[in-house]
Amino acid sequence: MHYKLLALDLDGTALSDPDTFAPGLAEAAARAAAAGCIVAAATGRPGGCLPAALTPCPEWISWLVLFDGAEIRDAKTGACIWRKPFSAASLEQIGRAAGALQIPAEYIDRDSWYHLTDADRQALNASGITGFHKKILTLHGCGLKGPVSSLAGREILKINMPLVPRELRGPFQEQAGAAALVMDCGPGGLELTALGAGKWPAVAFLAGHLGLTLEDVMALGDSGNDAALLAAAGLGVAMGNAPDSVKAAAKAVTGRNTEGGAAQAIHRWLLYN
């Protein structure tokens, strides 16, 4: 088997809806694991917001790359081997930029709490974000009363900005980019991690931890937070439902997630049948 580590994005890739594996995915990934490939779920989700399909975690998943690559956990033991939180100074700079441009922001800590102001919560709930996202805010939302920098002790691992108009994305990145890795996720707005995090460096670290390199990695994804990993992996496969910019970063393209594209890719390029 040429690729020894399979890094699977979840939403839009391995999942066909927020809680269910896409057609054929579980069977194909289990076959890959049985053949000796190490399988990692590489997701933007926090550990406390994993889909029903991963609770409990299937035996064929060995590692969880969470928060867009700001944390890596052993899927069996829960042990954390990588964590990259924002510094207080970075949080202050990002909060200042978001406030100046009136961009609602969710600051997600290591325990999967989404910290946001009452005004930002109202703006998000009144917007067109998905019902799944609104449910997450109901279950995990936490009021932010003080300065954003005060959250540093909570170890903020990811920042979601779901409502960023196209015309404000450039100005925001100019003001806050030096404090974060800023990923444009299309209709989903912007997602931020601390510098040094991201799926690419996280999966590279995991590969090294396992005695492998990125050339040993097959990665599948569909969004802006996957693009760098798809470009760097030995084989990066974009989903058919991915935007053109993500497809351009990948070395191959498969079918749509809802049509079993991830399973097709595993059979074609990993299992060869």
Rounded (10°) CA dihedral 123, 126, 131, 136: 30
* Separation of alpha carbons 150 and 62, rounded Å: 34
What is the value of pTM for the model shown? 0.97
Confidence (pLDDT) at 12: 97
Q: For the chain, where are the E strands, in sequence order?
A: 5-8, 15-17, 20-21, 38-42, 63-66, 71-74, 80-83, 106-109, 114-116, 141-143, 156-161, 181-184, 190-193, 217-221, 235-238, 252-253
- Contact (Cβ atoms closer than 8 angstroms) between residue 236 and residue 8: no
Domains 5-83+197-271 and 88-193 share a fold: no
Confidence (pLDDT) at 273: 57
Q: Which residue has the tokens 């040429």?
A: 2
Q: Domain ranges in the chain?
A: 5-83+197-271, 88-193
What 16-22 contacts at long range (C-beta under 8 Å, 24+ apart), as own/partner pairs, is 16/257, 16/258, 18/51, 18/132, 19/51, 19/52, 19/53, 20/51, 20/52, 20/53, 21/53, 22/257, 22/258, 22/260, 22/261, 22/262, 22/263
Provide block-wise average pLDDT over 10 residues at a time, the chain (273 residues): 94 97 98 97 98 96 98 98 97 96 97 97 93 95 94 97 95 91 92 97 98 98 97 98 97 98 97 79
Pick the CATH number of 5-83+197-271 from 3.30.1490.120, 3.30.70.260, 3.50.50.60, 3.40.50.1000: 3.40.50.1000
* Separation of alpha carbons 211 and 179, rounded Å: 31
- Contact (Cβ atoms closer than 8 angstroms) between residue 200 and residue 229: yes
Q: Is 92 exposed, middle or buried (0-12, 13-18, 19+ CB in 10 A)?
A: middle
Q: Residue 264: which residues within 8 A CB-CB, separation 6 or more? A: 24, 254, 255
Domain 88-193: state its class. alpha beta
Two structure tokens written together for 234: 């030995």
